[in-house]
Amino acid sequence: MELTENQRFWKTHLEAAESFDGTKADYARLHGLDKQKLYHYKNYFRSTATTSMFVQVKQTTQTTVSPSGVTVMLPNGVRFSLPDLSAPGLLERLARL
């Protein structure tokens, strides 16, 4: 996605504000920026970011072990169990969900 000059301006400031030792409002005030626009573009870039093909995997303390099966929990909370992953391409198809 090609950014406009205005979008590049705000993206540069947002990146700088991330490493700033203070709040975004402090950063905006220090640089003479409209803090509402700073927050607007922060949300804008967050909502237009492409989604990653990867999801974060978290190990929980509550685990169940199945001798030859696997339990999959999707980011939306849906959980399902499979007897095994011996079907060709099954793991690849699961990763696309």
- What are the pLDDT digits (tens) for 52-80? 556 677 777 665 554 566 777 777 777 77
Listed by start position, the domains of the chain span 5-48, 54-97
User: Which has more confidence, 18 or 65?
Assistant: 18
pTM, to two decimals: 0.49
pLDDT band at 97 (very low <50, low <70, confident <90, very high): low
> Which phi and psi angles does 4 have, rounded to 5°?
-75, 170
Mean pLDDT within 24-40? 93
Give the separation between CA 82 and CA 16, rounded to whole angstroms. Answer: 46
Overall residue count recorded for the chain in this entry: 97
Question: Using DSSP, how many helices (H) and how many strands (E) does the chain show?
Answer: 4, 2
pLDDT at 16: 93
Helix (H) or strand (E) holding 79: strand 79-82
At 58 the pLDDT is: 74
Q: What is the DSSP letter of 68?
A: S
